[in-house]
């Protein structure tokens, strides 16, 4: 063996440096994961709120009365009150026909452009005729240059009339028996049904 001195340094462990790319990937993954968790919590909470709202809406409300007025509290003792509730669809059809006629005749000098053919093209829910009205959904129309009238028969047998005349405005009428026609509506003069 040689008597010379050998100086060797002790092995030093290598220090690894974290790469900036690895740090960016870890931070991005954490942000994406926390975003997914937050979004899924929001979806679950929204669904729970909407289910609770739907359950509250489906709960039965208090019964106020019946359409015929035979049970429960009655707003009036008038024997025609039941007929008025039954005929609500017929009155609504008459109002709808008037609104369609007004939009059809707007910008024109006469109501002749608001006849059964023109109104039938504007509405698929109502049937417009120039003969007698046979029930709800069937509207009898009559028009002149300065007047327009509609009649709708209700299930109770009452005929509901609407008339619009230039210079006079809107008038209503109703009656039982007789023909339920737009021509009869041209004679309506009441302020309500």
Over the stretch 131-165, which tens digit does the pLDDT of each residue have? Answer: 999 888 899 999 888 889 999 999 888 999 999 98
Over the stretch 86-130, which tens digit does the pLDDT of each residue have? Answer: 888 889 999 999 888 888 777 666 777 788 888 888 888 899 998
d(CA 152, CA 175): 11
Q: Is the pLDDT of residue 64 over 60?
A: no
d(CA 64, CA 81): 15
d(CA 146, CA 112): 8
d(CA 119, CA 160): 18
Question: Counting Cβ atoms within 10 Å, is residue 24 exposed (0-12), middle (13-18) or buried (19+)?
Answer: exposed
> Range with the lowest mean pLDDT among 3-12, 61-70, 138-147?
61-70
> Range with the lowest mean pLDDT among 4-13, 14-23, 109-118?
4-13
pTM of model > 0.75: no
Q: Which of 97, 79, 156, 135 is nearest to 175 (CA)?
A: 156
C-alpha to C-alpha distances, 174 to 34, 54, 116, 164, nearest whole angstrom: 69, 42, 21, 15
**Band of the pLDDT at 80, cuts 50, 70, 90?**
very low
140 and 185 in contact (C-beta within 8 Å)?
yes
How many other C-beta atoms are found inside a 10 Å radius of the C-beta of residue 73?
A: 9
């Amino acid at each position: 063996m040689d008597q010379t001195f050998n100086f060797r340094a002790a092995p030093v462990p290598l220090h690894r440096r974290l790469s900036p790319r690895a740090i960016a990937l870890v931070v991005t993954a954490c942000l994406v994961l926390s975003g997914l968790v937050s979004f899924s919590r929001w979806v679950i909470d929204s669904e729970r709120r909407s289910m609770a709202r739907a359950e509250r809406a489906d709960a039965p409300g208090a019964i106020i009365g019946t359409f015929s007025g035979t049970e429960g509290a009655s707003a009036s003792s008038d024997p025609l009150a039941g007929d008025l509730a039954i005929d609500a669809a017929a009155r609504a059809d008459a109002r709808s026909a008037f609104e369609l006629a007004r939009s059809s005749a707007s910008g024109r000098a006469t109501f002749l452009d608001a006849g059964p053919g023109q109104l039938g093209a504007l509405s698929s829910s109502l049937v417009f005729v120039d003969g007698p009205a046979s029930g709800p959904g069937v509207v009898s129309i009559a028009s002149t240059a300065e007047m327009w009238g509609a009649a709708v028969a209700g299930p109770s047998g009452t005929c509901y009339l609407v008339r619009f005349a230039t210079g006079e405005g809107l008038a209503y009428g109703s009656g039982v028996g007789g023909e339920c026609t737009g021509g009869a509506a041209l004679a309506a003069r009441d302020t309500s049904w």
